[in-house]
Amino acid sequence: MNRRLSIFTNGFVKENPLLVLNIGLCSSLGVTVSIFNGLGMGMGMMFVLLMSEIVISIFRKHIPSSIRLPVFIIIIAAFTTIVQFVLNAYVTALYDALGVFLPLIVVNCIIMGRVESFASKNTVTDSILDALGMGLGYTFVLVLISFFRELLGNGTLLSGTAFEITLIPEQYRLGIMNSAPGGFLVFGFLGAAVQGLKNRASAKKETSE
């Protein structure tokens, strides 16, 4: 039980894809100008990761090692296409906002890394826990980055939805947050905060010993 809990929580802090492993950064900086976009990208990628890990874990013993990477890419591409079709049909605004970053889920380092290092070597149950943990950790950070960028850059929260609210007058907004440098700034501060917490925990552990 403790092992499975560890697998599930691994993606939140210890091996968070964005703040610790620093992979999948292109989409995180490209789409996080609003909470709506960040949440949509996170959920889409979590679906692809979850389904890909399940399928690859089920057939892991039947996939020849010599062609495993092309097979992995085909599986990931199939589920990415499903996400594209669903968003294009039912959530067109999100589909348009995510743009090129949506099909790029196929080559997202997080998905390829997890199916190669985990799903291809573990059971279906463990793979589901790993995908959910990594997906939720990724989505949480996307939404967190989106929160600061949308609030400081547009002065709003939940823009593009029926729940949009304006909190900061236009003259006090930071336009840089709507560009790539703003994304790097927010990401850098969050990464520094996580590293500071890890260093503090390590120092506490050493002191207690």
Side-chain half-sphere exposure of 65, counting CA atoms within 13 A: 1
Residue 202 has which token pair?
């390590």
The conformational region for residue 22 under phi > 0 = left, psi -120 to 50 = alpha, else beta, is left
| pLDDT at 1 (0 to 100) | 56
Query: pLDDT per residue over 182-209, tens digit each?
Result: 989 999 999 888 888 888 878 877 777 6
Secondary structure of the chain: what % helix, strand, coil (to 5)?
Answer: 80, 0, 20
| pLDDT at 199 (0 to 100) | 83
Strand ranges (E), the chain? 156-157, 165-166
* pLDDT confidence bin for 104, thresholds 50/70/90: confident
Question: Region 108-113: what's the mean pLDDT?
Answer: 88
Contact assessment for residue 21 and residue 137, using Cβ atoms and an 8 Å cutoff: no
Question: Region 105-121: what's the mean pLDDT?
Answer: 90
Q: Would strands 165-166 and 156-157 be described as parallel, antiparallel, or unpaired?
A: antiparallel
| pLDDT at 209 (0 to 100) | 64
